[in-house]
Amino acid sequence: MSLNVSPGLLTVAERGEVSDAEFVDCVRTSLPYAWEVVGKVMADLKDGREFADHEIPPPSEVERGQLLRALASDSIRGGLERHFGAKLAFQNCHRVAAFRFGAVGGERYQAFVSARGQLLNQSPELRNC
């Protein structure tokens, strides 16, 4: 299961739309390591850069799983992007990048999300991540 959904939030979802604030709070409490990593790369954009990334492998499989669940889900990733106001990109099992929305489509973004970028970011240590 990706998220720990409270009975109250489940009731809200069963009745209709869930607000971004409610959804993002559920993500924050369910996936604290992923929240921390995403929060860090998003905060790194505050100094005016168009790109920031996190390349430190997670300390355990629990944290790796949180990061994978957060970034593999379109709804979770989209909620995080709306909350923090920037685009997320993901390579391997740990490399998370944030791009200002205006930088999406630019050279740095295209290089990061390209097949070439993925291949260049490989290493034997990360083979099974």
What letter represents residue 26's amino acid?
C
Lowest mean pLDDT among 23-27, 64-68, 71-75, 107-111: 107-111
Residue % of the chain over a pLDDT of 90? 66
Nearest to 42 by CA among 56, 55, 53: 53
What is the average pLDDT value for the chain, to the nearest integer?
Answer: 89
Examine the pLDDT at 74 and tell me if it is beyond 60.
yes
SS3 state of residue 84: helix
Tokens describing residue 43: 């905060």
Nearest-angstrom CA–CA distance, 54 and 26 = 23
Nearest-angstrom CA–CA distance, 68 and 86 = 19
Q: What are the backbone dihedrals phi and psi of residue 54, each rounded to the nearest 5 degrees, phi first?
A: -125, 120
Contact at 8 Å (CB) between 101 and 85? yes
At residue 125, the pLDDT reads 58
Tell me which residue has tokens 């009975």: 7
Average pLDDT over residues 11-16: 94
Examine the pLDDT at 129 and tell me if it is beyond 60.
no
SS3 state of residue 31: coil
Nearest-angstrom CA–CA distance, 76 and 33 = 14
